[in-house]
Amino acid sequence: MRALIAAGAVIAGIALSAPALASGDSAHAPASNWSFNGLFGTFDRGALQRGFQVYSEMCSACHSLRLMSYRNLSDIGFKDDQVKKIAAAVEVTDGPNDEGEMFQRPGRPSDRFKSPFANANAARAANNGAFPPDLTLMVKARVGGADYLHALLTGYREAPKSFNLSEGMNYNAMFPGHQIAMPPPISADGVEYADGTKATVDQMARDVTTFLAWAAEPEMEERKRLGVKVMLFLLVLTGMLYALKRKVWADIH
């Protein structure tokens, strides 16, 4: 139920931040070859960790991941001490204490990702009236999923001379209506990857899209493994039933 409510909030946030959404004037997102596509697809742990870095350094100032906890980062390859360090880097509000007052403390792995704004009104006030939606379910909330998100992040262009771009808006070839309140969120060499990967716009867009695809469906790999086991079981069972049928009816002509 909470996931359904969150999905509704994401979609509502997108609608509020996209005045031209109703025009339906958007490009078709080109298909990309993602490691998590297909029956046997899995998440690239290197891409997930790089994507988390991009989100932390370039996206988290505006967009929340309120359905994720810091301890979930252990699922993408971070060690326990790394997760503790990441969580402790933020200050969270806790309490009340013995005096009945709220207080600030370092984050813990059990805490949810800290939201950049106290509430929706504060978010709008800091972004010229546009509401930056929560990104936890963003890949599922948009038609085209990961392909759309990657195309959106790499779709910023100079507006054509014949295009009437509203004040305070940015031109994006992928966004419906081509006008989006969010300025380009990533720029070349905007982060320094620890593994030495060159931080091009396309690379960072792919990495953060992979991370958000995992955030939207962290159980995907387990679900696929279970599906394969079920299919193998059904194949073996079918073979056994066929052999039993042949044996039972062997003397009937």
Q: Tell me: the pLDDT tens digits for 84-97?
A: 999 999 999 888 88
Q: Which residue has the tokens 């507006």?
A: 159
Q: Which domain holds residue 251?
A: 221-253
Q: Are 47 and 210 spatial neighbours (Cβ–Cβ below 8 Å)?
A: yes
- 74 domain residue, yes or no: no
- The average pLDDT across 38-63 equals 95
Whole-number pLDDT of residue 11: 38
User: Are 35 and 138 in a shared domain?
Assistant: yes
User: Are 209 and 142 in a shared domain?
Assistant: yes
The confidence band for 234, taking pLDDT boundaries of 50, 70 and 90, is: very high
User: Are 63 and 14 in a shared domain?
Assistant: yes
- 104 domain residue, yes or no: no
Whole-number pLDDT of residue 86: 96
Whole-number pLDDT of residue 27: 66
Q: What DSSP character marks residue 37? A: -
User: Are 141 and 211 in a shared domain?
Assistant: yes
Whole-number pLDDT of residue 23: 38
User: Are 47 and 21 in a shared domain?
Assistant: yes
Say how many domains are in the chain: 2
Among the residue ranges 39-43, 93-97, 148-152, 154-158, the one predicted with the least confidence is 93-97
pLDDT reading at 16 higher than 60: no
Measured from the Cβ of residue 74, the count of other Cβ atoms closer than 10 Å reads 13
All residues at 6 or more sequence positions from 159 whose CB lies less than 8 Å from its CB, including other chains: 165, 171, 178
How many angstroms separate the Cα of 253 from the Cα of each of 242, 246, 248, 249?
17, 12, 12, 8
- 96 domain residue, yes or no: no
Q: Which residue has the tokens 């990702």?
A: 113
User: Are 234 and 193 in a shared domain?
Assistant: no
The domain spanning residue 64 has which CATH number?
A: 1.10.760.10
Judged on CB neighbours under 10 Å (0-12, 13-18, 19+), 87 is buried
The confidence band for 65, taking pLDDT boundaries of 50, 70 and 90, is: very high
- Quote the pTM value: 0.82
- 79 domain residue, yes or no: no
User: Are 174 and 240 in a shared domain?
Assistant: no
- 140 domain residue, yes or no: yes
User: Are 63 and 156 in a shared domain?
Assistant: yes
- 178 domain residue, yes or no: yes
User: Are 172 and 201 in a shared domain?
Assistant: yes
User: Are 198 and 182 in a shared domain?
Assistant: yes
- The average pLDDT across 57-72 equals 95
pLDDT reading at 201 higher than 80: yes
- Percent of all residues in the chain with a pLDDT value above 70, rounded to a whole number: 89
All residues at 6 or more sequence positions from 74 whose CB lies less than 8 Å from its CB, including other chains: 80, 83, 109
User: Are 201 and 231 in a shared domain?
Assistant: no
Whole-number pLDDT of residue 99: 87
The confidence band for 98, taking pLDDT boundaries of 50, 70 and 90, is: confident
Whole-number pLDDT of residue 236: 96
Among the residue ranges 4-13, 35-44, 86-95, 104-113, the one predicted with the least confidence is 4-13
Token pair, residue 57, equals 């350094």
- 75 domain residue, yes or no: no
The mean of the pLDDT values for the chain is: 88
Q: What does the alpha-carbon distance between residue 165 and residue 180 come to, in Å, rounded to a whole number?
A: 10
Whole-number pLDDT of residue 253: 63
- Computed from CA positions of residues 192, 221, 144, 17, in that sequence, does the dihedral angle turn out positive or negative? negative
User: Of the candidates 161, 138, 160, 159, which has an alpha carbon nearest to the alpha carbon of residue 149?
Assistant: 138
- 83 domain residue, yes or no: no
User: Are 119 and 45 in a shared domain?
Assistant: yes
- The average pLDDT across 209-220 equals 96
